[in-house]
Amino acid sequence: MLRVGLTGSIGMGKSTMAKFFADAGVPVNDSDAVVHQLYAGEAAALVDAVFPGTMKNGAIDRQELSRQLSSDRDGFNKLESIIHPLVRNREQKFIEQEQAKGAEIVLLDIPLLFETGAEKRVDVVVVVSCDPQIQRQRVLARPNMTEEKFNMILSRQTPDAIKRERADYLIDTSGPLEASKQRVAEIVEDLKRRLRSGEFQNA
């Protein structure tokens, strides 16, 4: 079974592209969605133990967590040491389930794919990118987003230019949505063609 890793910096349109892959019939494991589930479930008490006061009504208050992270230099490292193993666990279960169903391709939507070394767990990397100005406009239009917060997030992400260089496939979302959707369809077709040709024998 072919494992495709999807990644892209904040505001590039990665989540929308993941939906397009799902629409094209590719099973998708969304790491962000998994984190949301964990914050409302098994990770809540673990996170609250390290960041007291972040759990409210049994779930993590993301705004309070964000506030604490902004004032704790090692905060992200502490948080990732709790969350990443749980996310990996869920990812593995997803892969096993799809393998049992006979899926030939799965998509692993991993925002920090290069930053966490997750490219070693996939066979192909798809990077979502766009013009930096468009990215900035998209991100700053989000609720509770500030220039400072945006810059902090960017500082923790591999630069877009490096992601582009390391991509097996690139989706540029600077243009119309329909063009990006067409690009996803082309990638899916090409992956199926390469699978049929035996190019991914060890996948």
Q: Extract the annotated binding site for ATP.
A: 11-16
Coil/strand/helix, residue 56:
strand
Q: Running DSSP on this structure, what letter comes out for residue 125?
A: E
75-101 and 31-39 helices, crossing angle to 10°: 110
Of the candidates 131, 185, 161, 164, the residue with the CA atom closest to the CA atom of residue 11: 131
- Using DSSP, how many helices (H) and how many strands (E) does the chain show? 9, 7
Coil/strand/helix, residue 37:
helix
* Spatial CB neighbours of 16, under 8 Å, sequence gap ≥ 6: 173, 177, 180
- List of long-range contacts for 57-65, beta carbons under 8 Å, 24+ apart: 63/144
* Spatial CB neighbours of 148, under 8 Å, sequence gap ≥ 6: none
Pick out the residues of the known binding site: 11-16
